[in-house]
Amino acid sequence: MSEHFLKVGDKLYYSNEESTAEAIKENIRPHGVNRLLDYIDETKRTKAENVEHPGVPMVILYAAHELTPF
């Protein structure tokens, strides 16, 4: 994906594993980084990929903040 999903200062981060890990390491306090990266690794395990959808309706929202003249 070429569109960034996070901008901190002038640095853009993208929606891929490497860029997300970089964003976490560079912008989260050191004591929380390992715990968060461990959680990301946990979600990549095979068991997480084989979870069945419970049949609950899902809505995905996406928003961006854009300056307007008003």
User: For residue 12, what are its two tokens?
Assistant: 């853009």
Supply the range of the domain harboring residue 52: 1-70
In this predicted structure, the answer to whether residue 13 has a pLDDT above a threshold of 70 is yes
What pLDDT is stored for residue 1 in this prediction?
45
pLDDT tens for 17-59 read: 888 888 888 887 777 777 777 877 777 766 656 777 788 887 8
Q: What is the full DSSP assignment across 2-70?
A: -SEEEEETTEEEESSHHHHHHHHHHHS-HHHHHHHHHHHHHHTSHHHHTPPP-S---------------
- Whole-number Å distance between alpha carbons of 30 and 9: 19
Is pTM, for the whole model, over 0.75? Answer: no
Number of domains observed in the structure of the chain: 1
pLDDT for 45 equals 66
Average pLDDT of the residues of the chain? 77
